[in-house]
Chain A
Amino acid sequence: MSKLLVLALATLLLALPGRAQQVAVIKLPELQKRLSRPNDTTYVVNFWATWCAPCVKELPHFEQLSRAYAGQKVKVLLVSTDYVSQLEKKVKPFVAKRGLKSEVVLLNETDPNSWMDKVDTQWSGALPFTLMLNNKRQKRATFEKEFTQPELTAALQQFLK
């Protein structure tokens, strides 16, 4: 009986959301597909890397944004530009350790020159880089800078107007 209980509990625990999330490895076409859906969701897409100090510093602000806008049509997507060779060694442990709840994907492309313009021509290549877009409203904004929490919130509020 107790064995059954333990098993049931374990099953329950495993089924709980909020455990270490997956990091999907995607190629550019997949990312483009994700960002071109014609719906009324505002995507906040942050390009970052585990080795980028300002990126790591501002990640909690994006997590906070995720929580604050949970009930609204706002989706935060964290796109890691770490090398795919670092997925198990660096990226997954980082995501687990920080308990990131926003969706994290790793963009598996080696030559930035071949894909950066397809993400946004405004981006010169510095990390962090954030893209806000809403396809239904045909609106886009780009930020090649590190955000403070108030700056990020204000930028999104401005975008949602």
Chain B
Amino acid sequence: MKKLLSLLALCLLALSSFVLRTASPGYQVGDKAADFKLKNVDGKLVSLADNKAAKGYIVVFTCNTCPYAKAYEQRIMDLNTKYAPQGYPVVAINPNDPAVVPGDAFAEMQKRAKEKKYAFPYLQDESQEIAKQYGATRTPHLYVLSRKGADFVVSYIGAIDDNSEDAKLVKTKYLENAMTDIMAGKPATVNSTKAIGCTIKWKKA
């Protein structure tokens, strides 16, 4: 009986890892990004469709607590300073479950945005649906979207640059290189990069 149970458990495990692997990996470059309605730190709901003038967006899944997100915080702010005037503002989304990391609670997000004077929305993905839809797995995880008619198309996925520890030692600015291509109406030469980050703190099932 015990043997049967452990066999059953193993079968279940094999099945669940199988399901994990075949789960939708989220967006690939070229996919249409679905719009969302998420709560900003000012209490208002924000959607991609709100900003009629936007040529696109730099969507970044980030948070308050991850050391890598913190290491990149200034660089994310700088991206907004540089690209918002050119029609590609930053939209930051925090997908972490505050039950797992209290430091990512909505009130903490508000505090952070105020302290650092974020000039871009900082949204809470409370249901984690948007992170899942995009296929975000870590913080920070970036997606550049460009407007094509009524839609937004994913044009770049991945990292900001090649050195998380020290912005001064960066040799390749992956995201900026992609932006140069995208703003010239060309597909990004390097449209997808990998980076280390903190795993998104998913809700405990």
Could you say which residues of chain A place their CB within 8 Å of the CB of B163?
110-111
* Among candidates A51, A117, A125, A154, residue contacting B137 with C-beta atoms closer than 8 Å: A125
- Assuming the contacts A110-B162, A113-B162, A146-B199, asked whether A125 and B194 have C-beta atoms less than 8 A apart, the reply is yes
A-B contact count (CB 8 A): 73
Q: Does A95 contact B (CB under 8 A)?
A: no
Q: Does B14 contact A (CB under 8 A)?
A: yes
Give B71-126 interface residues, CB cut-off 8 Å to A.
101
Pick from A53, A124, A154, A157 the residue with the most CB of B within 10 Å. A124
Give A103-157 interface residues, CB cut-off 8 Å to B.
110-114, 116-117, 123-128, 141, 143-146, 151, 154-155, 157
Q: Does B53 contact A (CB under 8 A)?
A: no
| Minimum C-beta distance from A54 to chain B (A) | 6
Contact A126 B137 (CB under 8 A): yes
Contact A154 B13 (CB under 8 A): yes
Tell me the interface secondary structure of chain A in the complex: mixed
Give the A-binding residues of B (Cβ under 8 A). 9-10, 13-14, 17, 20, 67, 101, 137-138, 141, 158-159, 162-163, 165, 169, 171-172, 174, 193-201
Give the B-binding residues of A (Cβ under 8 A). 49, 51-54, 81, 83, 85, 110-114, 116-117, 123-128, 141, 143-146, 151, 154-155, 157-158
